[in-house]
Structure formats: structure tokens, C-alpha cells
Amino acid sequence: MPEEKIGTYITYHKIRLYTTEYLEYFNLTSIEFNKLVLIYYNIILKYPEVLENTSYIARTIIDKKTMINIKTGKKPDDYFETNAPSRIRRTACTQAIAQAKSYTTKVRNANKNKSIPPNPAKKFNLPIQLTKELYKIDNKKIKIKLYNGKEWKWYESSISKWNIPEDANLLSPKIEIKKKVVMLVIPEKCIVKNLTTIKERMEKNKDIRICGVAFSGRNNIATCVIIDKSGRFIKAKFINEGNKYKNIITKYLRQIQRSEYKSNRKKKTFETNKQYWKKISRNSNYYCNLVSRRIVDFCKENKAEIIALSNVQCDTEIVIYGTRYNSSNLRNRITKYTKIKSFMENILMTFIDMKGKINKCYKCNELIERNIEKKTKKVIKEDKAICESGHMIDYFFNFAMNIALNCLKKYS
């Protein structure tokens, strides 16, 4: 028996810290931490050869260039004074190495493409990176070492619900500050078992199930259809959230138009309606996450191990219909989020070439007719289609079935 392939992924736990008394200290700590990152960043750019080593070796070299020699007591040329704990210095140095590597890569690519290289950073606004020595969690309270403007001290604050399992493999957390909200973000390393390919799963598992997913720009954002290895239909699900999304976005777009009309501005600027554009972005992300979660949960409930998607849009007229903020524009992001969520649940995702196979009946392979030439609102809203043999079927259900069946043919 061949050994099962194992993979890993990182998930994040967000816990709110209730810090009304010490909010100022969190902001001061963030400023001090980012100052340290900038100092190390500028020193690293002086010695770019340091970046050729691993992060651990590079940090050791930088430490020698910035800290007093214990044996001789000599101060190096790049020495700077700070009362920050050694762990804060190390995490700041690690962040600076990552930022310097990113900058040098951008400069290298710009030189290759003969374009203008970017300028080095003058300021950072990175989250505070912590290590085990800088925080302690006990029941519903947390102790964190913070900078109060004079020195580094331990401060205690209460936390929200702690739902992380005891056996979780937790990595170094970080603190994110947004106005008056302080969040402790803890990454967890998780293991994915049975990380085999689709072909290997098709060969081993006789009862394997495939979920075909078709996207549209209507109320029905996604149509999910599950079939077994013999091609027999098992279950379908229609995710109807398109109208809700469109109504919310339309409401914000109207508010933007009203505010622009009242301000008598000829040019549309982003800053005038920044809050509305943020709400549009936030709602788009919410519905992308919602739809992708429902797709993956539907596969889990019905024991489908493969999600099949089309590499082409099912209907070009759908994109034209309605505003440019209809649900068809969420397709790429939903696909991206579904890929991440499905990997975490040990479900594989694949793309199937559906060129020339979109408008064919999945039962008899005959062409289906939909009267799309008229392009009237009534016809576009109707999803019913009929093939030359007389089979009446939902257009997107038919497309999802075709995706699933073509996936079965490809890998069997």
C-alpha cells in the first residue's frame, strides 16, 4: 500500500482584546515596533549581500552589526540605542528582512523589464509580531508586554471567547490595531491527510462523487450538481443570493450618485464617497465567502471529493444584463475562496475545458435552444431551455451537469 500524501495549511484565529485602559500603550508599542523595523530595514539595504542567506543567519549577521560585542565591549558602526526587549528586536529584524527581500526583488524585476524601480520604504505600518516570551494567556485574560512611552511593562486585559482547541499547533501571533479595536491574530498550522491527485482518487475510490458548479449573473449565483462515478445524478443545490447582493450594491451606488450631485462636482473622486466604496467592497467579500462556504459545505454533506468548474463563462449575455456590479463579477473571487476552503476540507478542485459543450443537452448531447437572440429582459431572466429532442431543463443545471460529466470522462 502506498503511503498517503500529507499537506499543511495555515488558518487564523482572531480574538478581540478589550483594552480601553491601555489602548494608548498598544498604539505606542505599534509605533515603536515599526520604528525598529525601519531602522533594521535601512541597515539591511546597506548590506544587500546579507539577504543571500537564510532569515536566521541574516538576523545573526545584523545582530553583530547593531549590538555591542560582549567580549570586547566595542560598539559597531551601525549600533543604535533602544530599550526594547531582545525578542521585540528579533521579530522587528525578521520583519525588516522580509520587507528588504520584497524590495530587492521588485528592483530586480524593474531592471529586467527596463522600468522605473520603486523607492525604498520611508515608513511602515506593520502589525506587532509577538513571541511566546511576550504574552501569556490564562482563562479569559492575557498579559502582554507593551511600551508605555518610557519603558516596556506587562499589562493585563480581558479577551473574547477562546475557542482554540488545546492540541492546536499555534504559531507566533500578531496584534492588529484598527482605530479603537485591538485584535490578537493567532496562526494555526493544520495538516491535510490524503493529499492525492484526482486520478489517484478516481482509481482507488469506487464510490467517489463529483460536484459540477456553474456560475450565473442572476439571483442564482451558483448551481451545484453532484454525480457518482457512473454519472448518475444524486443531488443539486441552487445558491440564491444574487438579488440580495445586487440590491445592496445598487443602494450604495445611488447614495454615491446623490452625494456627487449635491456637491456639484464634475469629476468623480474616490475620497468623496470613500465610506460607500468600502461598504461595496466589504459586501462583495461577504457574498464571495458566503457562496464559497455553501459550495464546500454542500460537497461535505454529500461526500463529494472533487469540485469541477468551467474554464469559460457559460453565457456572455449574462454579463451584459444588469449593472457591472451584478453577481457574475464575483465569479473569480468565489473560485479563489472555494479553492482555499476546499483544500482545507480535503476536497480537490479542477477546471474543465467546456468550449463547444455549453449549449448541449447533458441527456442526449443535442443542441439546446434558449431564444437568447432577442435579448429581452424576460428571456434573459428565464433559465429554462429545450433541446432538439424535446428535453425541457434548467439552463444552468444542464451546464453544471455537463461540467461534472466532462470531469468524469477526463479523469476516468
Query: Which pLDDT does position 337 carry in this prediction?
Result: 92
pLDDT band at 36 (very low <50, low <70, confident <90, very high): very high
Query: Which pLDDT does position 270 carry in this prediction?
Result: 56
Q: Are residues 158 and 235 in the same domain?
A: no
Specify the number of domains making up the chain: 2
**Neighbouring C-beta atoms of residue 56, cutoff 10 Å:** 9
- Count Cα neighbours of 182 within 13 Å in the Cβ-side half-sphere: 22
Q: Are residues 207 and 308 in the same domain?
A: yes
Q: Are residues 214 and 323 in the same domain?
A: yes
For 340, the enclosing helix (H) or strand (E) is: helix 331-344
Distance of CA 255 to the CA centre of its chain: 29
Q: Is residue 184 in a domain?
A: no
Q: Are residues 119 and 52 in the same domain?
A: yes
Prediction pTM value: 0.72
Q: Is residue 193 in a domain?
A: no
Residue 131 has pLDDT above 50, yes or no: yes
Q: Is residue 186 in a domain?
A: no
Question: What integer best gives the mean pLDDT of the chain?
Answer: 82
Q: Are residues 210 and 136 in the same domain?
A: no
β pairing state of 209-215 and 220-228: antiparallel
Per the CB < 8 A criterion, the answer to whether 220 and 320 are in contact is no
Q: Is residue 10 in a domain?
A: no
Q: Are residues 245 and 382 in the same domain?
A: yes
Lowest mean pLDDT among 105-109, 173-177, 198-202, 405-409: 198-202
User: In the listed set 163, 181, 216, which residue is the last one of a domain according to the structure?
Assistant: 163
Residue 268 has pLDDT above 70, yes or no: no
User: In the listed set 140, 163, 186, which residue is the last one of a domain according to the structure?
Assistant: 163
Q: Are residues 141 and 225 in the same domain?
A: no
Q: Are residues 36 and 96 in the same domain?
A: yes
Query: Which pLDDT does position 101 carry in this prediction?
Result: 93
The C-alpha atoms of residue 369 and residue 151 are separated, in whole angstroms, by 75
Query: Which pLDDT does position 38 carry in this prediction?
Result: 94
Q: Is residue 179 in a domain?
A: no
Per the CB < 8 A criterion, the answer to whether 18 and 157 are in contact is yes
pLDDT band at 28 (very low <50, low <70, confident <90, very high): very high
Q: Is residue 57 in a domain?
A: yes
Per the CB < 8 A criterion, the answer to whether 326 and 217 are in contact is yes
Q: Domain span at residue 72? A: 18-163
Q: Are residues 158 and 206 in the same domain?
A: no
